[in-house]
A = this chain, B = another copy of it.
Amino acid sequence: MTEKNEPVRAIVWGENRHEQVEEKVRAIYPDGMHNTIKDGLTELLGDAVSVSTATLDEPEHGLTDERLQDTDVLLWWGHAAHGEVSDEVVQRVHQHVLAGMGLIVLHSGHWSKIFTTLMGTTCTLRWRSAADRELVWTLAPDHPIAQGVPHPFIIPEQEMYGEFFDVPTPDELIFLSTFTGGEVFRSGMTYRRGRGKIFFFSPGDQDYPVYFNEHVRRVLANGVQWAAAELPQRELPVLLRYDAEDFYTGHGYRGPMQR
């Protein structure tokens, strides 16, 4: 975990397939979406953050256990290739989140293996890619993630994501988005799972230059600071036996029948 006043260590994980395959996307994001997101974080947080990137095509998708150990917050953008993400890496990320690593799930990451695993639901929704205007309204004006953006802030063109979004009721509902067509979406939500903090933020389709938007960048910078763990060390919750009056010495589990 990061020391007080040490930079938050973030990884922006990008699937990086649209950028390679689709001319339209490459024109918007010549450096890849992950690098654009990284640039936004660095621009706003400066020395308070240390950002790197990782992509699907790297060995182990760039997410070795060693690297995750040294990461405070992982941002996840995926869409076309959720199925290609290794189950082993997903399980590894899952364990790190439950042990205290922050996770920010972006846009179509709603259908990633890591998000559906953490949520336990289908994570389905209604959608339309037709350049709707998205208005992002703040529901929690005092929340650290909502600081520094107007109410509402406006994204001129975006993919529509609409309710019903099949996810658990969030711990905190930060933003609601509406679209030209009248749809509504819970676009900014937090969840605590295990000892980890999760922020889902839906703005950010590959077909529109959303990650250059100053307000989207502000929210992501706020989110990274929020999701960085408070805990002094990473620690996976475990099942332990405790004798009466010995509150601090847990004994390992030896199976259900041998008690």
Contact = CB atoms under 8 A, between A and B. Distances in A.
Interface stretch (A35-43, A69-77, A125-133, A212-220): A125-133
B127 A98 contact: no
Interface residues of A, number: 83
Interface stretch (A26-34, A60-68, A228-236): A228-236
Contacts of A162: 137, 242
- How many monomers of this chain does the complex have? 4
Interface of A: 18, 21-22, 79-80, 98, 100, 108, 111, 117-122, 124-130, 132-133, 135, 137-144, 147, 150-152, 154, 162-164, 166, 168-169, 171-173, 176, 178, 180-184, 186, 191-197, 229-232, 236-245, 247-248, 250, 255-257, 259
A33 B192 CA distance: 34
A142 B195 contact: yes
Nearest to A122: B237
